Amino acid sequence: MAQRCFVCGKGPMFGQTVSHANNATKRVFNPNLQRVRARVDGRVMNVDVCSRCLRGGKIEKAARGRKRPAVV
């Protein structure tokens, strides 16, 4: 899976892990992506969205289940 947010485009960042002995090894910081059923341009899609965009309400989650007419 590509580590890229569907909404903001946030992707992996590269850096180093530094030990107590000051040894530096390369590592990757991946974004916290969640697979979400969301409504995109009027249709439902499964998209990978970072937790920041989910909490910020930048995506509209799609409702589960069938829509039934209201019984009066």
Strands 13-18 and 33-40: unpaired
Q: Distance between CA 46 and CA 37 in Å, rounded?
A: 4
Residue 27's pLDDT is: 98
- On average, the pLDDT of the chain sits at 92
**H-helix or E-strand spanning residue 53:** helix 51-55
Average pLDDT in the 49-72 region?
Answer: 86
pLDDT band, very low/low/confident/very high, at 2 (cuts 50, 70, 90) = confident
Q: What are the sequence ranges of the domains in the chain?
A: 13-55
- Sorting pLDDT into bands at 50, 70 and 90, what band is 72? low
Predicted confidence (pLDDT) per residue in 16-47, tens digit: 999 999 999 999 999 999 999 999 998 999 99
CA distance 36 to 21: 41
